[in-house]
Chains A and B, each alone.
Chain A
Amino acid sequence: MIELQNVCRTFTVGDQQVAALRDINLRLDASEYISIMGPSGSGKSTLLNLLGLLDRPSSGTYLLDDGNVTDLSDEQQARVRREKIGFVFQSFHLVPRLTAAQNVELPMILAGIPAEERKSRVEVLMQNYGLSARADHRPDQLSGGQRQRVAIARATVMKPSVLLADEPTGNLDRHTGWEVLQLLEGLMERGITLVVVTHDAEIGARAKRQIHMLDGRILSDEREAPNKVPLPQAGEGLG
């Protein structure tokens, strides 16, 4: 469970104060599927970075699983990121010199998990995501969809409670984009809170809860029955 109370974030640009987030109050429950939409500059990425503890609010409070994480030290925040938060980026952010399996292994290395356990967990995940045959390939030998699946495997290998996806389909063609989205949505069955930032209304509409942002404020926060856009089956010729 995530709660933001009166969160503001201002940046100093030159000698001007620019407010990226103004007085945000937000509560996300466990296993929710939230999409955040808005034009560029509306503050959606800043919000995502705050949720992911990559950035600190200028004022306000951030509660994660009933604990106040606003004023944690760098090391404590890193620990929270490691254990509770997974990131999926638009440009994948795979380490180019590491193989797919090594990329997935990376968070567990940082967490100091023993090598045997790392190996077995990576194997299971690669199998689940249909990447077993590509485990020893480097990112530049993988297709875009495969790269993003590796990135998702990496984001979930530590079994986080929140998964933050910033334009996860932005660099993919429509068809693979849908596949990746399907994969992400499947994670919710395991109780993960999924937050997807996008400017694509069609993708945003798939979430049960849709937040629209403008000028650093929440414009609307709607919970609705999911738009019944049928997921196209593989090979149906989309994109």
Chain B
Amino acid sequence: MKLADTLQFASGSLRGNPTRTLLMMLAMSIGVAAVVVLTALGEGARLYVINQFSSLGSNLVIVLPGRTETAGIGPGMMSGQTPREISLDDAQALLRSRAVKRIAPLTIGSSNISRDALNREVVVLGSTSELLEVRHMAMGAGKFLPAGDIRESASVCVLGTKIKQEIFGNAQAVGQWVRLGDRRFRVVGVMSSQGESMGFNTDEIVIVPVASAHQLFNTSGLFRILVEAKSRDYIEQTKKDAEEIMFQRHSGEKDVTVITQDAVVATFDRILTALTMAVGGIAAISLAVAGVLIMNVMLIAVAQRVKEIGLLKALGAPGKQIRMLFFAEAALLSSVGSLAGLVLGYAGSMVIAHIYPSLPVSPPWWAVLAACGTALGTGILFSVWPARRAARLDPVAALAGR
């Protein structure tokens, strides 16, 4: 029997019982669609997080005060000390490393911004002119913080777009004065809209020189130092140098944590990939269930078509051919079912993408392959038993319908 004829005969017997066939295909396609949609969601979450991180800047090494010991309690905690703060001098010292391209110290606090009667609470970021480059930010109008001495507390500020809108409306903001806490600042620039990144909405902040922020909040420590390495190859060197410099400057105490953005991204990447695979795997269970359904229905089909099988044997079909016919039915069912499932899954992903436009929902190719493979595999695997049962029927008894 030719393959084309086998497939045609199998599809004929599938069409001969449309309700049964449609139900089995429905089960198969729901399984495939579930895998596609769930992995698309997981992959979307992963891409979202990675995008968030890369929008923070590239080749970044971050220095933060305090030591995070992975092995439990740090030395500071034992002696009841709070970690020593990182000073502006520490930040500048980092520039001694030849691996470092530039740094941006960060200090953060919240204050009131007011102009005339308008007044709101705002997050104030203290930094230097370098921040623009390090964090890959873009200006909407005017200029960023002026370069100059890191300790100079110039009374200038840069507004996030939303703040600018709320305080100035559509009026020109650059060159105007605003009040932050008890100090007056001249607006030198407005950021372009960048939206949220890492839970930090740059549209709703005000950036001032780091020294001004220190005065405003009456502190001297830094929240973070963002260090940009000269290139990707220098990231490890930068990290080592930063640790070494801070170690020397803090009189032999390892009381800062240096993390590389790559490591953080890689960790998130691993976690979210594992998560995606886990939900995909759970969805794949529904495919196994569909497989059991196929087996069940196939067994019934064998019982219903006992006479037909007997006839085929009488007409000269060996057991092998009968088996092939049932395999072909299962394969057709699963492949058409998976195709329908793919369509369904992609449609579902598009709906989700429509509802959550910020989530880059797209089913990963490996999940699509795995879903179709599992569907075909379980379909054929679970048809082995019914097919064998059909092939082994005694033709005399089968013809008599027994």
A: which residues have CB within 8 A of B? 49, 52, 54-55, 74-75, 77-83, 87, 89, 93, 95-98, 106-107, 109-112, 115, 154, 158
Contact = CB atoms under 8 A, between A and B. Distances in A.
Contacts of B317: 78, 82, 110
Q: Is the interface of B mostly helix, strand, loop or mixed?
A: helix
Given A49-B396, A89-B399, A110 B12 contact: no
A157 B385 CA distance: 33
Interface string B295-328: 0000000000001101111111111110000000
Contacts of B16: 96-97
Contacts, number: 70
B315 A81 contact: yes
B311 A82 contact: no
Given A89-B399, A93-B399, A112 B5 contact: yes
B316 A95 contact: no
B1 interface: yes
B318 A109 contact: no
Contact of B396 (A55, A75, A83): A55
Given A89-B399, A98-B12, A79 B313 contact: no
A87 B314 contact: yes
Interface residues of B, number: 25
Contacts of A79: 316, 318
A69 to B, nearest CB: 13
Contacts of B316: 78-83, 107, 110-111, 158
Contacts of A97: 12-13, 15-16
A112 B395 CA distance: 21
A82 B315 contact: yes
Given A74-B318, A81-B315, A93-B311, A109 B12 contact: no
6 contacts: A52-B314, A79-B316, A81-B314, A98-B12, A109-B9, A112-B5
Given A106-B315, A107-B315, A110-B317, A95 B308 contact: yes
Contacts of B2: 109, 112
Contacts of B319: 74-75, 78
Contacts of B315: 81-82, 87, 106-107, 110, 154
A52 B313 CA distance: 11
A71 to B, nearest CB: 16
Given A74-B319, A77-B318, A78-B313, 20 more contacts: A49-B396, A54-B395, A55-B396, A74-B318, A75-B319, A81-B315, A82-B315, A82-B316, A82-B317, A87-B314, A93-B307, A97-B16, A98-B12, A106-B312, A109-B1, A109-B5, A110-B1, A110-B321, A112-B1, A158-B316
A189 to B, nearest CB: 24
A75 to B, nearest CB: 4
Contacts of A89: 399
B396 to A, nearest CB: 5
Nearest to A155: B315
Contacts of A49: 396
Interface in B1-20: 1-2, 5, 9, 12-13, 15-16
Contacts of B307: 93
Interface string B13-49: 1011000000000000000000000000000000000
Contacts of B5: 109, 112, 115
Contacts of B1: 109-112
A54 B310 CA distance: 9
